[in-house]
A and B are shown apart, each in its own frame.
Chain A
Amino acid sequence: MKTTSRVVVIGGSVIGASVLYHLTNRAGRM
């Protein structure tokens, strides 16, 4: 398992996945 990461999101349902998606793809505007 990876042992370092800039951000760790704890929880893998809709919200966790959405946070991860936006952190890695688009933190632009609505």
Chain B
Amino acid sequence: MLVERSKLTSGSTWHAAGGFHTLNGDTNMAALQGYTIRLYKELEEITGMSCRMGGAVIETNCMVLHTNQRPEGTWDVVTSKGTIHAEHQVNAGGLWAREVAAMAGVYLPSHPIEHQYLVAEDLADIYNRASEYLHVMDPVGESYLRQESYGLYIGFYEQLCKPWAVDGTPWDFGHELLPDNLYKMEDSIASAFYRIPVLEHAGIKSVIHGPFTFAPDGNPLVGPVPRVRNDWSAGGVMAGFSQGGGMGLMLAQWIIHGECECDVTAIDVARFGSWDNAGYTRSKVVENYQRRFFVSYPHEELPAARPHRTPPMYDTFTKIDAVWGQQFGLEVENYFAQACDPIYENPTFRRSHAFAATAREVANVRSGVGINEVHNFGKFEVTGPHARAWFDWHLGSWLSEFSPDYTAAETGVDRFIDFHKTTDFIGRHAANAERDTPPDRVLATFEVDADDADVVAYEPVFIVGAVQGFCTSGGYSHHLGKSIAMALIPRAHAVHGVQAKIEIMGQLRAANMVTTSGFDPDMQKMWS
């Protein structure tokens, strides 16, 4: 059952620019945006979508007033038309998602921002085209553009952006727009005229200025709400049309199967913890909006809302020139600068000025002693009569090559599985199947003839002249004095000494596969 406060699409959907693309920094998000496009094409062919809703009910003009959880975990959703008793509730409140979350005692890190785009009059250059004009995103002009009828529309992620409804979204807001504000877009418009001269002489048919929601990192807030049973979030979906299909699929999988088919770390509402608050969210949302079309760099640290949480050694380490990063809202020392080093890491795809500092620290801890603070490491205490059974049930996975997107046999984690174990564990059936039929691809380690840039992730791997795989991670080993990459490649090619080429910064770099560890291969140091 779906309940809608007003009419379907009220809030931000009805004035959305409606651009579609599959560009996203997270590969699974990109795939989900691709799924969304395919889904809409499929739905176009369906006549009367409601007849396929399997008996689901849509109740419009039905405002939710309270959500009250019963002791056993079900919900009474109190609306203007009466109370609905449900096992699960899903917050897809959009502009009002903050308010709906608050009804359940939850803070949702989402905030609306005012956004504006212009619709130009019809243009002869567009009318005379044989095909639809390209959907353009311009990082320099911080704008996006697509064809609308025989004209163009262009929208901007301007630096003078403004958070909307800081004290809460008014309940009577619905199908209104905000007053035009071309002043805040002057620089952006000038850049657009320079880039696309035909726009300068086109009349403006309409200005669309309305609010839509962002999470602090710009990605949706999806999944089970931490610490609240049967409460699900589907909020902060800034690119509603572009991501909506995929987000709906992931949440449905999560509710029905208890997990999604792929790694959804990028959208998991749990990536923000109880440390987050309105001040942090608002600052980060503004930062994210302003950087919407900026190029992001590996290891880049963003400055807004910092420091937010600090470890006990923060002041001490700051005095000795710690270069700080942030994880889960907590300041974390990345490395320590010395007198000649800047106290920040320069954003670059090449080796940054953290390179020399890291080399120095690696040498020091290999030959001497180092001290560090590890407040940012997760720590779990598992106690109780079923603690052992809980551990037996789990097969761990992390990020990079040990993500849920890859199997145990693909990454070599299967060497740690006790197949004689009598108890069941997550993924046992799949792990057993891979013993009978090994996967087509495996994780391999390469030494790369790199210059001033190392593998980060997702670089293509060429073997015998063709792309055969992709990198999962990489970096420079200061201890070995070599650039190292890890990649998933076809099993048939995964033999010691195989020669490959890895594309880094547009150049094909020779890469030699190795099957022995570069550090202490005979484990002499470990056993000494």
Chain A residues close to B by CB (< 8 Å): 1-27, 29-30
Q: Within residues 72 to 86 of chain B, which ones have a CB less than 8 A from any CB in chain A? A: 75, 77, 79, 81-86
B50 → chain A closest CB, angstroms: 10
Other-chain residue from A2, A15, A24, A29 in contact with B92 (beta carbon distance below 8 A): A15
B interface, CB within 8 angstroms of A: 1-5, 7-13, 31-32, 35, 49, 52-60, 62, 64, 67, 75, 77, 79, 81-94, 96-97, 100, 234-235, 237, 240-241, 244-249, 251-253, 255-257, 261-262
Q: Which residues of B contact A7 (CB under 8 A)?
A: 1, 86-90, 255
Distance between Cα atoms of A25 and B57 in the complex (Å):
14
A15-B85 Cα distance, complex, nearest whole Å: 22
Which residue of A13, A16, A17 has the most chain B CB atoms within 10 A of its CB atom? A13
Complex: A9 Cα to B248 Cα, angstroms: 11
Q: How far is the CB of B499 from chain A (nearest CB, A)?
A: 35
Give Cα A17 to B331, complex, Å: 39
B84 contacts which of A2, A24, A27, A29 (Cβ < 8 Å)? A2
Q: Are B93 and A24 in contact (CB-based, < 8 A)?
A: no
B90 near A5: Cβ-Cβ < 8 Å: no
Residues of chain A contacted by B12 (CB below 8 angstroms) = 13
With beta carbons under 8 angstroms apart, the residue of A6, A11, A26, A30 that contacts B4 is A11
* A15 and B248 form a contact (CB under 8 A): yes
Return chain B residues, CB-CB under 8 Å to A6: 86-88
**Complex contact A3–B90 (CB within 8 A):** no
List A contacts of B4 (CB < 8 A).
11-12, 16
Query: Known: A20-B53, A21-B53, A30-B261. Contact between A14 and B1, CB under 8 A?
Result: no
Known A-B contacts A15-B247, A21-B53; the reply to A2 vs B1 at CB < 8 A is yes
Q: Which residues of B contact A9 (CB under 8 A)?
A: 1-3, 89-90, 92, 234
Residue of B nearest to A16 (CB): B92
Chain B residues positioned under 8 Å from A18 (CB to CB): 244-245, 247-249
Nearest 7 pairs between A and B by C-beta?
A18-B248, A12-B4, A22-B252, A11-B92, A24-B54, A16-B92, A5-B1
Mostly, the A contact residues are mixed
Smallest Cβ-Cβ distance to B63: which chain A residue:
A10
Residues of A within 8 A of B92 (CB): 9-13, 15-16, 19
Contacts A16-B92, A19-B92, A27-B257 supplied; 8 other A-B pairs, CB < 8 Å: A2-B57, A10-B93, A11-B2, A12-B5, A12-B8, A14-B240, A18-B249, A24-B53
B56 and A20 form a contact (CB under 8 A):
yes
Q: A7-B86, A18-B244, A18-B248 are in contact. Are A13 and B257 (CB under 8 A)?
A: no
CB-CB nearest in chain B for A24: B54
Question: How far does the alpha carbon of A12 sit from the alpha carbon of B94 in the complex, in Å?
Answer: 9
26 residue pairs of the A-B complex, CB under 8 angstroms, read: A1-B81, A1-B84, A2-B1, A5-B86, A7-B88, A7-B255, A8-B88, A10-B90, A11-B92, A11-B97, A13-B8, A13-B10, A14-B9, A15-B237, A17-B8, A17-B248, A18-B244, A18-B248, A19-B247, A20-B2, A20-B56, A23-B252, A23-B255, A24-B52, A27-B249, A30-B262
Q: Which residue of B lies closest to A3 (CB)?
A: B84
**Residues on A with beta carbons closer than 8 Å to the beta carbon of B60:** 12
Residues of B within 8 A of A25 (CB): 52-54
Contact A29 B88 (CB under 8 A): no
In the complex, A5→B86 CA distance in Å?
5
Which residue from chain B places its CB closest to the CB of A19 in the assembled complex? B248
| B residues less than 8 Å from A5 (CB atoms) | 1, 57, 84-86
Contacts of A29 in B (CB 8 A): 261
A1 to B94 alpha-carbon distance, docked (Å)? 23
Which residues of chain B are near A12, meaning CB under 8 Å? 2-5, 7-10, 58, 60, 92
Q: What B residues does A8 contact at CB under 8 A?
A: 1-3, 75, 77, 84, 86, 88-90
C-alpha spacing A12/B257, complex, angstroms: 24
Tell me the bound Cα distance from A5 to B85 in angstroms.
Answer: 6
Expressed in whole angstroms, the Cα–Cα distance for A20 and B60 within the complex equals 14
Contacts of B64 in A (CB 8 A): 10
A1 CB to closest chain B CB, in angstroms?
5
Cβ-defined contact, A19 with B256, below 8 A: no
List chain B residues, Cβ under 8 A from A22.
248-249, 251-253
Expressed in whole angstroms, the Cα–Cα distance for A19 and B53 within the complex equals 11
Note all chain B residues with C-beta closer than 8 A to A20.
Answer: 2, 53, 56, 58, 248
Closest to B80 in A: A1
Expressed in whole angstroms, the minimum distance between the Cβ of B96 and any Cβ of chain A is 7
B395 CB, min distance to chain A CBs, angstroms: 21
A10 to B185, CA, bound (A): 34
Inter-chain contacts of B81 with A (CB < 8 A): 1
CA distance A20 to B255 in the complex (A): 12
Chain B neighbourhood of A16, CB < 8 A: 2, 4, 90, 92, 94, 234
When C-beta atoms are compared, the residue in chain A nearest to B34 turns out to be A30
Looking at B54, B75, B81, B92, which has the most chain A CB atoms within 10 Å of its CB? B92
